[in-house]
Amino acid sequence: MSTQADRYKWIALSNTTLGMLMATINSSSILIALPAIFRGISLNPLDPSNFPFLLWILMGYLLVSAVAVVTLGRLGDMFGRVKIYNAGFLIFTLAAVALSLVVGHGQGAALEIVIWRMVQAIGGSMIMANAVAILTDAFPANQRGMAMGVNIVAAIAGQFLGLILGGVLAAVQWRLVFLVNVPVGTFGTIWAYMKLKDLGAKTPAKIDWPGNILFALGLSSVLVGVTYGIQPYGTHTTGWTNPMVLATIFGGIAVLLIFAVVEVKSPEPMFRLPLFRLKAFLMGNIAGLLASVAQGGLMFMLVIWLQGIWLPLHGYSFESTPLWAGIYLLPLTGGFLVAGPLAGTLSDRIGARPFAVTGMVVGAVTFGLMSFLNADFNYLEFALILFANGLAFGFFTAPNTVSIMNAVPPHERGAASGMRVTFRNIGTPLSIGIFFSLMVIGLASSIPGAMRAGLVAHHVPLQTAEKLSGGPPVGYLFAAFLGYNPMGTLLGHKLLTTLPQQSVQVLTSKAYFPSLISGPFMSGLKIVLIFASITCIFAAVASYFQGKPVINSEETK
């Protein structure tokens, strides 16, 4: 390899790593800064009419990413991966500026945030769909594992660094959570336009409009249904019996089946179905989807556990819990940072399968161990399990990606990368929907009785206690997720003035609400963790059937 080409591959790695880091820091910083954002725009998280805005601030970005990323990867094959990647950097940065300038209050401001987050997701999808393809073009096959390891670990690390950054910035001003992306994005955009160049061959083709429209409609419909399935419906704790939710999900599946038929017959399809004939590509994507389902909702559950229960029980104020939740989750980041580059580099020599299989097996074990912890756990035990879980997914992610990308022809790398990211992006909202639903079911079976008994024991009238205990469990779950103590708001100032002072002090204390929901929460969490453990086992099986290392024959000629 020439000196110039050798120098360029490090430019490509550093710039795409910055892009992935920026996108993932943004995603997780929003997660941890939601309490400050809700307070900043005067939106009450306990008002059931505000649930959709909370969900869509989180899920809107994921939905757009899942829908758009294949098309944007395909456009990279057609018009140049660097061109689409660079445009993504620019769009992402401009959307960050718009988010930091949101005006107004209440639901109107929340809607602005949702819309601009979706625009930002288009830019993020352009980056994620083409970054891996750019790296695959720049690095020889025997170095891709290392490159993917660095790139993916940066993306994963960004998720957890965002928790810290979001907590710090939100404590100052919620707009800074969005504004911090602007200088990084501006630098990255200029650098990308100046230094990156297309090494892969462009593949002239027409845009598959029927395929794009059917895929967008079908997948959007399914994911919208999953999003609304989390919310209460009538007297039901979740929306899975809602005719609209069922029609949306099954209608979306029907549209996706039509999409598959259309793509088979299309001369230039957006979704390259023949790639699934490649065993490494098929099984690698199945494993990636399952791993994303197992891991995607974990962050939400851990944040709820820390912000809503463990930290308040240990004397932290509800206002400070977002920052400390990010700090206490750092062992998970450490595991990724240790395992990712190591697994990527070693998989270049040994092959991806041993690392991917081992990673998922260890992941299943760590989820199992976590299910045995108490709500008020010993932090050292918790940290060790988190670190091991980070190691597990660090060992899996880069080798899985390399195995998928090495198997495809060079001229299909953009589409293949987009398809790979789509599977992972679908897994996250599915995971959130499944995890939240399982958690709400667990809460619904035990929290009404626990809340009614607890309130009556502190002199709250029985009629009021029964009314409050009959509220939607998802409301208490979101209160915990936002690090919010709802008891003062739920009981109201008028009622609190009629209760004995000692009861008021207990009911509004840091420890009362966490103690109240800890038992029901752990009942639901155990179900969630068992589900995640089983999903990891299936991911390990799929990884095993990827077979031995494969490098596409077109590249070896």
pTM reported for the whole predicted model:
0.78
Convert the pLDDT of each residue in 145-170 to its tens digit: 777 777 777 776 777 677 778 778 87
Per-residue pLDDT band for 302 (boundaries 50, 70, 90) equals confident
Encode burial over 57-86: b for 16+ CB neighbours within 10 A, e otherwise: bbbbbbbbbbbbbbbbbbbbbbbbbbbbbb
- The pLDDT, as a whole number, for residue 258 is 93
483 vs 413, which has greater pLDDT? 413
Nearest alpha carbon to residue 416 among 29, 69, 170, 120: 69
DSSP state of 201: P
Convert the pLDDT of each residue in 498-540 to its tens digit: 888 888 888 888 788 888 888 888 888 888 899 999 999 999 9
Q: Following CA atoms 222, 228, 232, 237 in sequence, which dihedral angle do they give, to the nearest 10 degrees?
A: 40
Both ends of the chain: CA-CA distance in Å?
16
- The pLDDT, as a whole number, for residue 4 is 65
Radius of gyration of the chain (CA): 24
Mean pLDDT along residues 481-506:
77
Is pLDDT above 80 for 362?
Answer: yes
277 vs 550, which has greater pLDDT? 277
- Average pLDDT in the chain: 82
Per-residue pLDDT band for 557 (boundaries 50, 70, 90) equals very low
Asked if 88 and 125 count as a contact pair (C-beta separation under 8 A), the reply is: yes
Lookup: tokens for 342:
């190591």
CA 138, 9, 279, 250 torsion-angle sign? negative
Strand ranges for 398-523 from DSSP E: none
What are the C-alpha distances in Å from 512 to residues 54, 304, 310, 469?
25, 16, 12, 15
Q: Following CA atoms 269, 271, 272, 278 in sequence, which dihedral angle do they give, to the nearest 10 degrees?
A: -160
Is pLDDT above 50 for 261?
Answer: yes
The CA-CA-CA angle for residues 431, 437, 441, to 5°, reads 145
Lookup: tokens for 456:
């009556």
Convert the pLDDT of each residue in 163-208 to its tens digit: 778 778 877 888 888 888 888 888 888 888 888 877 765 666 677 7
Asked if 272 and 415 count as a contact pair (C-beta separation under 8 A), the reply is: yes
